[in-house]
Amino acid sequence: MGPKQHVLVVDDENNILSSLRRALQIEGFQVTVADGGEAALEAVEKGAVDLVLLDVAMPDIDGIEVLRRIKAKAPDQPVVMMSGHSTIETAVQATKLGAFDFIEKPLASERLLLTIRNALDSGRLRRENAELRRLQLGEMVGRSEAIKQIEQTIAKAAPTSGRVLITGPNGTGKELVARSLHVNSQRAEGPFIKVNCAAIAHDLIESELFGHEKGAFTGAANRRIGKFEQAHGGTLFLDEIGDMSLAAQAKVLRVLQEGELERVGGAETIIVDVRVIAATNKDLFAEIAAGRFREDLYYRLNVVPIALPALSERREDIPELVAHFLRQTSESHGRRPKQIEQSALTLLMQQPWPGNIRELRNVVERLVILVESPTIAAEHIVELLNVPSAVPVRRAAGELPLRDVVMAAEREAILAALERHEGQVAKAAAQLGLERSHLYKKMKILGIDRS
């Protein structure tokens, strides 16, 4: 259980304050009361209020004015208005000013609690989305054919609500792709909800996805809104879908087919508008063959497939990724961005990278922290990764695949020729005995920038 959620109750009538305080404390909330507008604004100013319950008619400053002032300072602050003799105009005005809901006195406790829970959920989602947008600085880096094609697919698929199945080994950027599909969709303002299907106990996954009613099973003390409902109007990212139990797969299939669900232990049918994006590092065909994954679900999810290749299949992206992570990690550690020598890059391009981009990112971060000189050299990498150096070829040849040894040698030769001819590709090509177009192609594959 997280910390208690903090509700501020504002009303000029003391008996209302005390009865609400008691009722909400019993439900497990932390409660602060304010007997007028002035006191309310002061309490909000102090911060850490998750929700304000605000009376409309108060003698000092009326509730609508208090609402206006709260929203001017903290537009994301959830506020629920309550009133004993409200007119429709007041309700409309409150909604326009950003009140989450408007409830009538006398307060029926069921309705009140439901409204409070919904308002708290909406506040949390909005904060998470703001956070997400900030993280979106992380664009996809890379110019390999593979990355270009993936970017094109994202551009085409994002604006639709089509389901996308993202596959690829660990650390290849599956989550990054899922988030970028959301951010570039018409649902970008809606929630992005991630579920890690591998991390949830099999007997809890249904309640996690679809929610449950109070008392649905032992331990279900309160109603719970599931991830599908939370993602309404937005995107649900089902990560590690290959690890979902067959029972849960059947339920998910039904929601995908019918667009509706029931909470566990609930009778009500709930209609949801959710775009589903799924990801896995498993081979789902093999899972289907082994009877662990439903074929019909596979075809429902796999409307647009996006397959991320291992980093070792797009080594030409490594120089740009390294530059990107050097900038990013230096910034977050408050260091001056370091330079990296070509020979060090060559060495990084030769590594197997079983952990793919995540592993590369960690290595760059370690280099930023551990290397003291402003330039990262090949020796630093040899030392840090405990790998053989790129040269001499004879030694590397004993320990690396021939392809990687050849690539490194070609890269060094081309860099040397370009250096000798001050970056003039035509002259370097002539010296190397290559067609100019051939040299361009090689430079691209080897991640050599013209500058």
Ligand X SMILES: Nc1ncnc2c1ncn2[C@@H]1O[C@H](COP(=O)(O)OP(=O)(O)OP(=O)(O)O)[C@@H](O)[C@H]1O
Task: Based on the shown chain and the rule CB under 6 A, indicate whether residue 447 belongs to the binding site for ligand X.
Answer: no
3-state SS, residue 200: coil
Minimum Å gap between C-beta 342 and Mg ion is 32
Report DSSP state, residue 311: G
What is the 3-state secondary structure of 245-305?
CHHHHHHHHHHHHHCEECCECCCCCEECCCEEEEEECCCHHHHHHCCCCCHHHHHHHCCEE
Closer to Mg ion by Cβ: residue 175 or 412: 175
Query: Contact 410/448 with Cβ under 8 angstroms?
Result: no
Closer to ligand X at the Cβ: 164 or 176?
176
175 lies in the binding site for Mg ion (CB under 5 A): yes
Q: Is 41 exposed, middle or buried (0-12, 13-18, 19+ CB in 10 A)?
A: middle
Residues touching Mg ion: how many (CB under 5 A)? 1
Q: Is 128 in the site for Mg ion (CB under 5 A)?
A: no
By the rule CB under 6 A, 314 interacts with ligand X: no
Measured from the Cβ of residue 286, the count of other Cβ atoms closer than 10 Å reads: 11
| Secondary structure tally for the chain: helices H, strands E | 20, 16
With CB under 5 to 8 Å by kind, the binding choice for 357 among ligand X, Mg ion, none is ligand X
Could you say which of Mg ion, ligand X, none residue 172 binds, taking C-beta under 5 to 8 angstroms by partner kind? ligand X
Instruction: Kindly state whether residue 244 participates in binding ligand X, applying the rule CB under 6 A.
Output: no
| Distance in Å, CB of 324 to ligand X, minimum | 6
Count of residues that bind ligand X according to CB under 6 A = 17
- Rounded to a whole number of angstroms, the minimum distance from the CB of residue 428 to ligand X is 29
3-state SS of the chain: helix, strand, coil percent to 5?
50, 15, 35
In one-letter notation, the amino acid at residue 195 is V
Query: If residue 208 lies in a helix (H) or strand (E), which one and from where to where?
Result: helix 205-210
Report the residue number, 76 or 139, with the smaller CB distance to ligand X. Answer: 139
**Running DSSP on this structure, what letter comes out for residue 377?**
-
Dist. CA 144–CA 328, nearest whole Å:
21
**DSSP code, position 118:** H
- State which residue, 151 or 175, has the beta carbon closest to Mg ion: 175
16, 107, 176, 425: which one contacts ligand X (CB under 6 A)?
176
Q: CB–CB of 337/326 below 8 Å? A: yes
Our CB check for ligand X shows the closer of 11 and 240 to be: 240
Residue 214 neighbours by CB distance under 10 Å: 12
Distance in Å, CB of 198 to Mg ion, minimum: 10
Task: Specify the 3-state DSSP secondary structure of 151.
Answer: helix
Instruction: Please name the residues in contact with 402: beta carbons below 8 A apart, sequence gap of 6 or more.
Output: none
Number of other CB atoms surrounding residue 334 within 10 Å: 6
Name which of 249 and 280 has its Cβ closer to ligand X. 280
**Residue 261: partners with Cβ closer than 8 Å, 6 or more residues away:** 210, 226, 228, 229, 251, 254, 255, 269, 270, 272
Smaller CB separation from ligand X, 194 or 411: 194
Using the rule CB under 6 A, is 358 a contact of ligand X? yes
Minimum Å gap between C-beta 175 and Mg ion is: 4
- 142: partner contacted, choices Mg ion, ligand X, none (Cβ within 5-8 A by kind): ligand X
In the complex, minimum distance from the CB of residue 328 to ligand X, in angstroms, rounded to a whole number: 9
Kindly state whether residue 175 participates in binding ligand X, applying the rule CB under 6 A.
yes
Show the tokens assigned to 201.
Answer: 């106990």
Asked if 365 touches ligand X (CB under 6 A), the answer is no
- The answer to whether 37 contacts ligand X (rule: CB under 6 A) is no
Cα 200 from Cα 369, distance rounded (Å):
35
Select from 87, 95, 170, 437 the one that contacts ligand X (CB under 6 A).
Answer: 170
Please report how close the Cβ of residue 333 comes to ligand X at its closest, in angstroms.
Answer: 15
Q: Binding ligand X by CB under 6 A: which of 357, 363, 364, 405?
A: 357
The least CB distance from residue 32 to ligand X, in Å, is 40
Residue 143 binds ligand X, judged by CB under 6 A: no
Shortest distance in whole angstroms from residue 196 CB to Mg ion: 8
Strand ranges inside 37-89, DSSP E: 51-55, 79-83
Shortest Å, Cβ 146 to ligand X: 10
Confirm or reject binding of residue 185 to ligand X (CB under 6 A).
no
Choose among ligand X, Mg ion, none what residue 447 binds, the Cβ cut-off being 5 to 8 Å by kind: none
Helix (H, G, I), strand (E, B) or coil at 339: strand
Rule CB under 6 A: is residue 182 a binding residue for ligand X? Answer: no
Smallest gap from Cβ 280 to ligand X, in A, equals 8
Which residue, 265 or 355, is less far from ligand X as judged by CB?
A: 355
End-to-end CA distance of the chain: give it in Å, rounded.
55
Stretch that binds ligand X, among 120-128, 172-180, 187-195, 243-251 (CB under 6 A): 172-180
Question: How far does Cα 132 stand from its chain's mean position?
Answer: 6
Question: Which residues of the chain form contacts with Mg ion (CB under 5 A)?
Answer: 175
